[in-house]
Structure 1
Amino acid sequence: PDSQLGRLASQPCPSPLRACAQHMGCKNSKEGYGDSTLDASDVKVLDKENGPGTPKDKSAHTYDSDIQTRHNTQHKSFSEALVHRNMKNLHEIYDVDEAHVLGRGACGSVCVVRKRANLDEVFAMKTVAVDGPGGMSLGQSIEELRKEIEIQRSLDHPNIARIFEYFEDPQHSQMHIIMELCRGGALVSRMKTHRNGYGERAAATLVYKMLSAILYCHNNGVVHRDLKLDNFIYEDEREDAELKLIDFGFAAEVAPGNEWMWEQIGTPSYMSPELWADFSKAYDSSVDMWAIGVCAYMLLSGKRPFHHQDRKEKKRMIQNDPVRFSSAEWDRITPHAKDFCLQLMQKDPKKRLSASQALAHPWIKNMAGVRGGGNTPREEIQQHSDIVANLEEFAKADNMRKVAMEVIAFSTPPAKLDELRDLFVKMDENASGTLSEAEFVKAMVGTYHEEEAKRLFRLIDVNDSKEIEYMEFLGAAMSKRTTSMKPSLMSAFSILDRDGNGIISKEELLAILGDDCTDEEINDMIKQSGGTTGINFEQFKHLMLRDMSSMQRAKAWQSASRITAIAQSRLSSSSMQSPSEKKQ
């Protein structure tokens, strides 16, 4: 079966290194579906320190980039704060003895694991060998893997696969990464049943989701650098299942006005002309847009825009030949679809559309079925009074309950929240992956007066980032029925109980709230939960299930914005500290 990490096929692979590279994110050795056999040395990874300096003349660079400054360190996403290295023994937390292996390569494997505390919780575990047999390097050091996790955990988007935690095993030279389980296989595998391409509406809808994911990445200063059909996977087996972007092994963090990169890396069929240069040549985030153009071309026709068995000829074609629509499949394709492909696969990077511009292209606007048709966001909100009530409940909740609700949203399998995800996508009119105040208010006006909607927005924006992130929205909109289920409560409790001793201690609460809450306030919080020196699971469950009095609601409403911002900031800082630092 296909796994969510590319075509990690269960049958023997023609080359162990190829299997490793393609599916486990090992650098220096990437190859895409159907490309000719590629030796690791064929795709060069240049050392940044040895590359030429930044070009002196930037005036000629006019690509309209979407790159923005990554999250301010004081405004980390909630999911970023929760994803951390688990210092416990893997086997104590997960049942890996009976794990079903989805695929195996020379540098690792992917299998299905269950949490021992709740066997109904199923995850994918990606195990990567840091060092190969006999000390052979497979291209990724432990530092590179940590960097990959650091980047992916910072991304909170409906179309980006979620990481939950990771374990390092120095004794066996391995790292184990716990991820959301996606059973639907890779998009490239589904192309086998669409050999002549998808219909335009289906193709445009898939490309819309790709563009939304990469716009979010670029807006957060992340360039993926290995976008391809293999790296988009389906949440489940349904034809219309959600699409998820994976494998950030080649991803780079850049900054506005300083996004030059030098490493010549990628998958041959998806690499833009500048990546095929005979010498080190600077490039920018537009390489991602070329790759999406290739994906669109393949989804529409079932064929690659430039392909030849000889690598030198393929390089020449990508660098010099125009994009052609000569095969019979293109006779049924509209001019707008062809123009979309052309606008992304411009030889000159400066002429390519950015992700935000591509989302505004007529083909996407008219054909993508993500937001088109059906009710408007305002109409959806008016028809879901239960969700409105949940948003109010979240805004008025005390700090402990609010943090717990977001933790529950984080730990809940995304497929179980597909209705809320669909509503979030409809409200997110510019497909940026976050809700601006204007987008939120537009959906809420009709249910609230404008100023009331703005006030609700500020109380839901718990990390004060001036936008509602995906996890914030899910935590706020989840029903009390979902958050009160015992498995959900147990997951939230175990994440907050970082040392795993069955008690959320005063020290753990102080680590979250920091100096802005006194010992007396922390003691009062524990006391209100029914504890003395900490909060056990039964007390935590009571805290989540009880109904607040009108006085408690009013107090929570007034203090929610300040306290929750403090909580998220402290939780983010705490998650980044090593165990030794926390003890000091």
Structure 2
Amino acid sequence: MGQCYGKARGASSRADHDADPSGAGSVAPPSPLPANGAPLPATPRRHKSGSTTPVHHHQAATPGAAAWPSPYPAGGASPLPAGVSPSPARSTPRRFFKRPFPPPSPAKHIKATLAKRLGGGKPKEGTIPEEGGAGAGAGAGAGAAVGAADSAEADRPLDKTFGFAKNFGAKYDLGKEVGRGHFGHTCSAVVKKGEHKGHTVAVKIISKAKMTTAISIEDVRREVKILKALSGHDNLVRFYDACEDALNVYIVMELCEGGELLDRILARGGRYTEEDAKAIIVQILSVVAFCHLQGVVHRDLKPENFLFTTRDESAPMKLIDFGLSDFIRPDERLNDIVGSAYYVAPEVLHRSYSMEADIWSIGVITYILLCGSRPFWARTESGIFRSVLRADPNFDDSPWPSVSAEAKDFVKRFLNKDYRKRMTAVQALTHPWLRDEQRQIPLDILIFRLVKQYLRATPLKRLALKALSKALSEDELLYLRLQFKLLEPRDGFVSLDNFRAALTRYSTDAMRESRVLEFQHALEPLAYRKMDFEEFCAAAISPYQLEALERWEEIAGTAFQHFEQEGNRVISVEELAQELNLAPTHYSIVQDWIRKSDGKLNFLGFTKFLHGVTIRGSNTRRH
């Protein structure tokens, strides 16, 4: 489906998205893919050419391709199978409301949100503006306050100066349009001077006239900032330049000529072999792990946003479209609803999420690659959201019985509705389905989060985590061994200097913007002591992630035996509650965790103590 927009930092927003079956709106053409619950029709979006760097959310750029009606040169062969329309036929339909939204729907405030984002004007009764109507740059994740800013906007002129270079015409020879969106279009261009003289690039042109709110202006500013800050990864679209004049903003990027991943999925009839799917997923995980380490969450991962550099079958992919992306600080939770309906994570709809939302989206993409259909489907956006929140993916129908157990486990560990139980992108690269001893595994930002928590934990909690780590198999310790090695231990130990050096080694401007380097302050206790691999394992494991494993009960049982021998001690209800930072009114929660026979933690108490107790609350961004 299309984009879902929310007001910056804290608005619920979604809408019924599919066209009215009465014919009031256009619908996407049927997919040639085999049904498995629901086929994979192309995601509706704004008109565009078939392969490019983004115009707004999903634009791409293919030189020599007419924008209308086909993205392929006259007489050229389309990679799509017979009867399948190219990208322009999968444009975003106008959307119509047939009835009011039911109260439980996360989409119920979409009209008011869009009206505010469009500058206070009400959308035409019964319709929602097309994708892109939420802002010229790209999305609802702008770091701009709404509330007071919205009410004041009408009283002061908008500042549409960005501080970008103003000599676009002198530097680039603009070519023909190759894609068009609601708030901008993409053209090819030839560099006239400088380091890249003679190179053909893609230029995303965003009209300043369409920037009608402070939020939409901030969207553009943030997109350029992220593109400029992220650098150095082979699967990331390359940013060259940003210019402006009185009328437009020009974002100059690498030209990708190989088309979208979505088009290749359709060309294959919807399904990849496991080996071919692995080649795709490894590239996706690699670039997402890089973004997450830098403190950037993409928030719109889907096949349309991965482009191939050339039409060669083995061409590498590039991640594009950072219009909905944002910097995220350590321990921060975001709360604006953005993304694309089929790929949106449950916690996004609950408006409290972090980087794990990207992992869910990768799970949806993997599911599609392996079986050719979407795991969550409905005729309306609200229906899709209900499916995401309540339904389980189908792993029973064909072709799943013929898919390897490792591949199914891989997808299930991504599509876990509890975000705490999902693998990270780096952990996924060490999963048995993808494991390759020759592949270099990147540093995982999760390590820093978990070690930080461990250093703040009580002695009893540390003993419990040590017992848990001793129950892991050598196979399950592989990821931890690789991460420990990346910290470059000295004589088998790591200290604050090792963690600091590792962050510095992988640092970009994005890491400074997202304040990831603040983890160094949280790890200050390691300035005065060292940590060996055994303690590192205790510090860097997540009980929640382990609970998602099929053999969790076996692990927990073995861990409890170690705990009985090395850490279990007499503890009162009051002391246990204080260990968990519970108020006296919640003491009753832990009463049945203690054995009456000897006053020590029982097996239930041990497993619950590992997880801790969460009394509802949120550390979300507030404006």
Q: TM-score normalized by structure 1?
A: 0.51
Question: 2:505 — aligned with what?
Answer: 467
User: How far apart are the structure 2 equivalents of 1:191 and 1:213?
Assistant: 20
Q: What amino acid does structure 2 have at the position aligned with 1:261?
A: L
State the 4+ residue runs in structure 1 displaced beyond 3 angstroms. 6-9, 11-19, 37-51, 435-439, 463-466, 468-471
The answer to whether 1:126 aligns with 2:204 is yes
Q: Deviation digits for residues 393-428 of structure 1, max 9, x if unmatched? A: xxxxxxxxxxxxxxxxxxxxxxxxxxxxxxxxxxxx
Change (3 A) 1:46 1:240: closer
The answer to whether 1:199 aligns with 2:237 is no
Q: 2:404 aligns with which of 334, 352, 360?
A: 334
Question: 1:71 — aligned with what?
Answer: none
Question: 2:287 — aligned with what?
Answer: 213
User: How far apart are the structure 2 equivalents of 1:2 and 1:244?
Assistant: 11
Contact 1:4 1:234 in 2 (8 A): no
The answer to whether 1:93 aligns with 2:171 is yes
Unaligned 5+ segments in structure 2 are 1-49, 62-66, 70-87, 95-112, 116-126, 148-161, 442-478, 490-500, 510-623
Q: What amino acid does structure 2 have at the position aligned with 1:125?
A: V
User: How far apart are the structure 2 equivalents of 1:289 and 1:191?
Assistant: 20
Q: 1:272 aligns with which of 341, 345, 359?
A: 345
Q: Deviation digits for residues 109-130 of structure 1, max 9, x if unmatched? A: 1111111237631111111123
Give the root-mean-square deviation of aligned CA atoms: 4.0
User: How far apart are the structure 2 equivalents of 1:353 and 1:275?
Assistant: 17
Contact 1:111 1:125 in 2 (8 A): yes
Change (3 A) 1:120 1:45: closer
> How is 1:217-236 mapped onto 2 (pairs within 5 angstroms)?
217-236=291-310
Change (3 A) 1:87 1:284: closer
Contact 1:233 1:244 in 2 (8 A): yes
User: How far apart are the structure 1 equivalents of 2:346 and 2:364?
Assistant: 12
- Number of equivalenced pairs: 333
Contact 1:298 1:305 in 2 (8 A): yes
Deviation at 1:252, TM superposition (A): 1.5
Question: 2:521 — aligned with what?
Answer: none
Deviation at 1:329, TM superposition (A): 2.4
Question: 1:145 — aligned with what?
Answer: 220
Change (3 A) 1:361 1:300: same
Change (3 A) 1:466 1:436: farther
SS of equivalent residue, structure 1 residue 324: coil
Contact 1:186 1:233 in 2 (8 A): yes
Deviation at 1:14, TM superposition (A): 7.1
Deviation at 1:185, TM superposition (A): 1.1
User: How far apart are the structure 2 equivalents of 1:16 and 1:307?
Assistant: 19
Deviation at 1:350, TM superposition (A): 1.2
Q: Name whichever of 195-204 and 333-342 sits farther off.
A: 195-204
> How is 1:16-95 mapped onto 2 (pairs within 5 angstroms)?
45=140, 87-95=165-173
The answer to whether 1:188 aligns with 2:297 is no
Contact 2:141 2:219 in 1 (8 A): no
Q: 1:317 aligns with which of 381, 387, 394?
A: 387
Deviation at 1:220, TM superposition (A): 0.8
Q: Deviation digits for residues 477-513 of structure 1, max 9, x if unmatched? A: xxxxxxxxxxxxxxxxxxxxxxxxxxxxxxxxxxxxx
SS of equivalent residue, structure 1 residue 151: helix
User: How far apart are the structure 2 equivalents of 1:47 and 1:116?
Assistant: 33
Contact 1:16 1:106 in 2 (8 A): no
The answer to whether 1:250 aligns with 2:324 is yes
Deviation at 1:210, TM superposition (A): 0.8
Identity, in percent, stands at 30
Q: What amino acid does structure 2 have at the position aligned with 1:305?
A: P
Change (3 A) 1:94 1:359: same
User: How far apart are the structure 2 equivalents of 1:271 and 1:197?
Assistant: 21
Q: What amino acid does structure 2 have at the position aligned with 1:158?
A: D
Q: What amino acid does structure 2 have at the position aligned with 1:314?
A: I
Change (3 A) 1:437 1:345: closer
Change (3 A) 1:371 1:142: farther
Unaligned 5+ segments in structure 1 are 20-26, 30-36, 52-83, 378-428, 440-462, 472-584
User: How far apart are the structure 2 equivalents of 1:468 and 1:260?
Assistant: 23
Change (3 A) 1:466 1:347: closer
User: How far apart are the structure 1 equivalents of 2:376 and 2:249?
Assistant: 37
Change (3 A) 1:38 1:288: farther
Change (3 A) 1:38 1:285: farther
Change (3 A) 1:128 1:292: same
Question: 1:360 — aligned with what?
Answer: 430
Q: What amino acid does structure 1 have at the position aligned with 2:228?
A: R
Change (3 A) 1:309 1:159: same
User: How far apart are the structure 2 equivalents of 1:161 and 1:262?
Assistant: 27
Deviation at 1:271, TM superposition (A): 0.3
Deviation at 1:364, TM superposition (A): 1.3
Contact 2:141 2:326 in 1 (8 A): no
Change (3 A) 1:16 1:311: closer
Contact 1:128 1:175 in 2 (8 A): yes
Change (3 A) 1:251 1:45: closer
Q: What amino acid does structure 1 have at the position aligned with 2:184?
A: G
SS of equivalent residue, structure 1 residue 160: coil
SS of equivalent residue, structure 1 residue 111: strand
Change (3 A) 1:347 1:437: closer
Higher normalized helix content (fraction of residues): 1
Change (3 A) 1:176 1:206: same
Deviation at 1:438, TM superposition (A): 5.5
Q: Deviation digits for residues 77-96 of structure 1, max 9, x if unmatched? A: xxxxxxx9652421111111
